[in-house]
Amino acid sequence: MSIFDKTTDALAATIQMRQIRHNVTSANIANAETPHYHAKKVDFENALASAIETQSIVGDGLGGKPIKNVKADVYENPDVAVNNDGNTVDLEKEMSALSENSIMYKTALQLINKKMAALKYALGER
């Protein structure tokens, strides 16, 4: 039996996926001036939500494995325009995405820190 629950597993997976998104978005920004570079996009939210829902339906019998097995889907972003040099990076959108991802990463980190503090408190290690 694990001392961590579904929420802790989901937050840990979220932090990992947000790190991947940060790396991909940073690479897009770094290649904003590279001719013929195609911007990448990362999706993981639907897969993570599905894994959380599956674990809720099936119960603890899976031990959190579906959440821990969630993978980020990285692909070329189809929702962007091609510049004259063949580059598809929209610098403003990428900077906005990086900022949003940073806020979401910090939020998930704060939540997991609160869960750990509550666990520490429950164990009597003040």
- Confirm whether 14 is domain-assigned: yes
Contacts of 44 (CB under 8 A, 6+ apart): 17, 20, 21, 70, 71, 72, 73
- Confirm whether 1 is domain-assigned: no
3-state class of 42 per DSSP?
strand
- Confirm whether 125 is domain-assigned: no
**Quick one: pLDDT at residue 80?**
86
What is the pTM for the complete model shown?
0.82
- Confirm whether 124 is domain-assigned: no
Q: What is the spatial distance between Cα 111 and Cα 8, in angstroms, rounded to a whole number?
A: 9
**Number of structural domains the chain divides into:** 1
**Quick one: pLDDT at residue 26?**
98
- Confirm whether 126 is domain-assigned: no
Domain span at residue 53 reads 6-119
Over the stretch 55-105, which tens digit does the pLDDT of each residue have?
Answer: 766 555 445 457 878 888 999 988 888 999 999 999 999 999 999 999 999
- Confirm whether 29 is domain-assigned: yes
